[in-house]
């Protein structure tokens, strides 16, 4: 059952394996994901669904330095080749939005 396809509405996964999110702390100071992220996620595309590392939805919500963001056009553009690399490898990826709340990094 774990390796059978799964379908929910228009979403179809090749199997029921989900890669849990792993915070990598490899983004730039401006929250851009690293260039190696596309390869990192594409290499794991055989999982039915990848949950990305925590992505900050705002500058103030960044929990620590070097966490990727998704709150401006430059960051959105930087995530496109990453998601495309996963799709090209036959996988699906889901963005985990992670807001640091009141325990966010004080220097950010």
What is the token pair recorded at 57? 């939805």
Every domain of the chain and the residues it spans: 18-103
Q: Return the SS3 of 11.
A: strand
Contact indicator for 92, 52 with CB cutoff of 8 Å: no
Give the tens place of pLDDT for each residue, 46-103. 999 999 999 999 998 988 899 999 999 999 999 999 999 999 999 999 999 999 988 7
The tokens describing 5, both together, are 């396809």
Confidence (pLDDT) at 108 = 65
Instruction: Measure the CA–CA gap between 102 and 84, rounded to whole angstroms.
Output: 34
The single residue listed with the structure tokens 């990848």 is: 50
What is the average pLDDT across 29-38?
95
């Amino acid at each position: 059952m774990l390796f059978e396809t799964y379908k929910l509405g228009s979403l179809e996964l090749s199997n029921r394996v989900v890669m849990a999110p792993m915070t990598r702390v490899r983004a730039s100071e401006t929250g851009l994901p690293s260039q190696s992220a596309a390869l990192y996620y594409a290499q794991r595309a055989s999982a039915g669904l990848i949950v990305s590392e925590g992505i900050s939805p705002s500058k103030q919500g960044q929990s620590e330095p070097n966490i990727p963001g998704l709150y401006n056009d430059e960051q959105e553009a930087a995530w496109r080749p990453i998601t495309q690399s996963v799709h090209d490898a036959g996988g699906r990826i889901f963005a985990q939005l992670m807001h640091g709340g009141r325990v966010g990094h004080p220097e950010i």
